[in-house]
Homo-oligomer: A and B are copies of this chain.
């Protein structure tokens, strides 16, 4: 059995005020071509189909077009879950009717959930579709108020599966979550934080044949080869500029996964960070692909007149222009500011935040309310 694993489409995403819909459409056409070439037995979309709970209508149209093609033209089962960006209620529309067409769209956690079971010549493969849910929802569904963290929620969900099904057969977990190991050192540090940790220990999943994850945008394995993030469809921020986006093709045999391959996605307009002096950049040599989405870092010191306007004539899709402040004196000034800030009281910090956001000074009346709120919290912390 061959699977294609993708996630984090984020349809309807807006980056620096630019709608990504056209880029997403071109990328999904590429995805459909990959499907046609690879001829998988099932397609997994591990959450964040949309970027927000009420996506723009163009995004709705694009998802509709894509799923309709996969189901109606190719007749390949699609197994999709909602991620933290999706609205479970809205994504659930039609789900019961879609099932009969081979589109399994799960956005709500239920008790006694049945996996979707597909077969190959070696026997059944069970797909467990676990939509993104808060720990409180798992606590509610399993009537177990002791579940407070994502880790505890995952323990419960896995326990439930292992109680009801024989793990001798092949089981696939489809989830949208932070699995520890995904970000190495940083993640371990966060794991040790008491409470509120978003991380789940990847070792919990050791009995699953394959774990198809969404949430992290970089394609990567977590602790072992068969626990994987497919990564997002596109780059969605400049922090992803160095990513190589792909979908993951998985081959399974009787004993489990026999091969894993990343099939590259080539964006029409890439995300790129370029750095240089204004006059040099105007020569147009900062990038091989001037239509890329650019984050431009200008090294110039002095005043420039309308640098964005001028640069956009050469690079039409600059999303962000940054002036590098390299005076050491300025840097010291900033350090000094940070130090000053650290000395300020909660009241002062809030007043400054208020002014930043609202553009006017906080009134005495409101300041009083803030003071009292802070006092209440401090009292509580001291156990009064």
Q: What is A's interface to B at a CB cutoff of 8 Å?
A: 54, 57-58, 60-61, 63-64, 67-68, 71-72, 87, 89-90, 92-98, 100-101, 103
Question: Complex formed: what's the CA distance from A94 to B95 in Å?
Answer: 9
Which of A68, A89, A94, A103 has the largest count of B CB atoms less than 10 A from its CB? A94
* Contacts A87-B57, A101-B100 given; does A93 touch B92 at CB 8 Å: no
Q: In the docked arrangement, what's the CA distance between A322 and B269, Å?
A: 61
The interface residues of chain B lying within 8 Å CB-to-CB of A98 are 94, 97
Chain B's nearest CB lies how many Å from the CB of A289?
32
**Distance of A11 Cα from B97 Cα, bound (Å):** 20
- Inter-chain contacts of A90 with B (CB < 8 A): 57, 60
CB pair A103–B97 under 8 Å, yes or no, is: yes
B101–A57 contact, CB under 8 A? no
Contact flag A94-B96 (CB < 8 Å), given A54-B54, A89-B61, A101-B101: no
In the complex, what distance in Å separates the CA atom of A103 from the CA atom of B93? Answer: 13
**A97 and B96 in contact, given A61-B89, A89-B61 (Cβ under 8 angstroms):** no
Q: Is the CB of A94 within 8 A of B94?
A: yes
Contact B63 A93 (CB under 8 A): yes
- With A54-B54, A87-B57 as known contacts, state yes or no: A97 contacts B93, CB within 8 Å: no
Q: How far is the CA of A58 from the CA of B103 in the complex (A)?
A: 23
Whose C-beta in chain B lies nearest to the C-beta of A63?
A: B93
CB<8 Å pairs between A and B, sample of 14: A58-B89, A60-B89, A60-B92, A64-B94, A68-B94, A68-B97, A72-B96, A72-B97, A93-B93, A93-B94, A94-B98, A97-B103, A100-B100, A100-B101
Complex CA distance for A103 and B98, rounded to whole angstroms: 11
CA distance in complex: A57, B314 (Å): 45
User: A72-B97, A97-B103, A103-B97 in contact; A92/B54 too (CB < 8 A)?
Assistant: no
Residue of B nearest to A105 (CB): B94
Q: In whole Å, how far is A76's beta carbon from the nearest beta carbon of chain B?
A: 13
- Tell me the minimal C-beta distance from A41 to chain B in angstroms: 19
Q: What is the bound-complex CA distance between A191 and B248, given in angstroms? A: 62
| Identity of the chain B residue whose Cβ is nearest the Cβ of A53 in the assembled complex | B57
Q: List the B side residues contacting A92 at CB < 8 Å.
A: 60-61, 64
By beta carbon, the residue of chain B nearest A56 is B89
For A63, A72, A89, which residue has the most chain B Cβ atoms within 10 angstroms?
A89
List of B residues within 8 angstroms of A72 by Cβ: 96-97
Instruction: Find chain B residues with CB under 8 A from A63 CB.
Output: 93
A101–B67 Cα distance when bound, in Å, is 16
Given contacts A57-B87, A97-B103, 10 further A-B contacts (CB under 8 A): A60-B92, A61-B89, A64-B95, A68-B97, A71-B97, A94-B98, A97-B98, A97-B101, A100-B100, A100-B101
Cα–Cα, bound, A68→B99 (Å): 11
Chain B contacts for A54, CB-based, 8 A: 54
Residues of B within 8 A of A67 (CB): 94, 97
B-chain residues with CB within 8 Å of residue A58 when the two chains form the complex:
89
Chain B residue numbers with a CB within 8 Å of A93 are: 60, 63-64, 93-94
